[in-house]
């Protein structure tokens, strides 16, 4: 039996490979019966939040898809997110805190502007892409934080007249062009290809094996660790894991 990596010192067990595969088959069957729905829109404007600035390692590659965390991490959590989605907004700080505590996982952002949040969602996606293009990875993630801290959410967008502070001329030139649109469209098309129609969604990827696991909804830390165990256990087993349901964070609706 292969020895699985120890992902968190506070954990007291790892799933044996045989149990993991039994669980995997049950998960796949269970998930096939579940309807996929988008999170319901919230009726009230979102309260403003203050977010701590992210600091991205200098060795992290720049450019879309943007990454946060160690570039050599074995696992990648690819998040499909909408900048107008209230659940993505709440989950942003939760996922950042979890990534900071688990160096074996890095975070990759993929845009998925939902039709019910347009045109604000795509406009904000263009903004953060152009800020990243002109300032690099740190600038991109700080722009995402800024948008989440100021947007009214649910398609209402940023307050009228509010502009990103100290916007560089290079970023404005990008906004005046169609350059950011290609990356946004490509990431949204990839989400559609993978059957992702709601946000947030996470695709966990094992860089060593190429295997992936798809989780719907905001996923709490213990469920993420169990998913990593399951993904690692599948490294020498069949069938390939593709999808599993996930518990929501706290009381947040799916």
Q: Tell me: the pLDDT tens digits for 148-162?
A: 999 999 999 999 999
In a domain, 179, yes or no: yes
Q: How far apart are CA 95 and CA 101, in angstroms?
A: 10
In a domain, 3, yes or no: no
In a domain, 195, yes or no: yes
In a domain, 211, yes or no: yes
In a domain, 17, yes or no: no
- Output the CA torsion 67→68→69→71 (10° steps): 20
Question: Which one has a higher pLDDT value, 213 or 234?
Answer: 213
pLDDT in tens, 119-148: 999 999 999 999 999 999 999 999 999 999
pLDDT for the residue 46: 43
pLDDT in tens, 169-178: 999 999 999 9
Most confident segment among 23-32, 121-130, 218-227, 241-250: 121-130
Residue 78 has pLDDT above 70, yes or no: yes
In a domain, 37, yes or no: no
Share of the chain above pLDDT 70, in %: 68
First CA to last CA distance, the chain: 37
Eight-class DSSP state of 234: G
Q: Which residue in 174, 30, 228, 196 sits closest to 113, CA to CA?
A: 196
Residue 163 has pLDDT above 50, yes or no: yes
Q: What is the mean pLDDT of residues 31-43?
A: 38
Name the domain count of the chain.
Answer: 1
Residue 51 has pLDDT above 80, yes or no: no
Q: How far apart are CA 11 and CA 83, in angstroms?
A: 33
Q: Given strand 67-68, what is the order of strands in its sheet?
A: 67-68, 105-111, 75-81, 201-206, 212-216, 243-244
Q: How far apart are CA 41 and CA 43, in angstroms?
A: 6
Q: What is the mean pLDDT of residues 110-115?
A: 97
pLDDT for the residue 105: 97
In a domain, 8, yes or no: no
Looking at every residue in the chain, the average pLDDT score rounds to 78
Eight-class DSSP state of 81: E
List, in order, residues 6 or more apart from 145 with CB less than 8 Å away.
51, 53, 54, 92
The two tokens of residue 81 are 């997110």
CATH value at residue 152: 3.40.30.10
Q: Please, which pLDDT band fits residue 63 given cuts at 50, 70 and 90? A: confident
List, in order, residues 6 or more apart from 160 with CB less than 8 Å away.
none
pLDDT for the residue 243: 52
Q: How far apart are CA 246 and CA 192, in angstroms?
A: 19
pLDDT for the residue 29: 40
Share of the chain above pLDDT 90, in %: 63
Q: How many residues does the chain have?
A: 254
**DSSP states of 107-142 as a string?**
EEEEE---GGGTTHHHHHHHHHHHHHHHH-HHHHHH
Instruction: Name which of 6-10, 114-118, 215-219 the model is least confident about.
Output: 6-10
Residue 48 has pLDDT above 70, yes or no: no
pLDDT in tens, 184-228: 999 999 999 999 999 999 999 999 989 999 999 899 999 999 999
**Residue range(s) defining the domain that contains residue 96:** 49-244
Q: How far apart are CA 186 and CA 184, in angstroms?
A: 5
């Amino acid at each position: 039996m292969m020895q699985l990596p120890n992902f968190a010192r506070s954990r007291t067990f790892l799933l044996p490979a045989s149990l993991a595969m039994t669980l995997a088959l049950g998960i796949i069957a269970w998930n096939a019966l579940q309807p996929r729905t988008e999170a319901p829109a919230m009726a009230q404007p979102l309260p403003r939040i203050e977010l701590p600035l992210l600091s991205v390692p200098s060795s992290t590659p720049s450019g879309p898809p943007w990454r946060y965390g160690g570039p050599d991490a074995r696992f990648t959590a690819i998040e499909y997110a909408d900048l107008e989605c209230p659940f993505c907004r709440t989950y942003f700080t939760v996922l950042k805190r979890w990534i900071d505590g688990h160096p074996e996982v890095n975070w990759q952002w993929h845009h998925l502007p939902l039709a019910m949040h347009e045109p604000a969602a795509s406009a904000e996606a263009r903004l953060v892409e152009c800020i990243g293009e002109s300032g690099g990875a740190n600038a991109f993630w700080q722009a995402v934080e800024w948008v989440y801290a100021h947007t009214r959410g649910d398609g209402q967008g940023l307050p009228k007249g509010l502009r990103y502070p100290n916007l560089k001329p290079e970023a404005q030139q990008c906004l005046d062009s169609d350059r950011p649109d290609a990356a946004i469209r490509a990431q949204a098309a990839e989400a559609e290809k993978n059957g992702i129609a709601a946000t947030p969604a996470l695709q966990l990827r094992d860089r060593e094996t190429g295997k992936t696991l798809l989780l719907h909804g905001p996923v709490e830390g213990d469920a993420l660790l169990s998913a990593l165990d399951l993904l690692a256990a599948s490294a020498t087993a069949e069938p390939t894991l593709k999808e599993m349901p996930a518990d929501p964070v706290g009381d947040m609706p799916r």
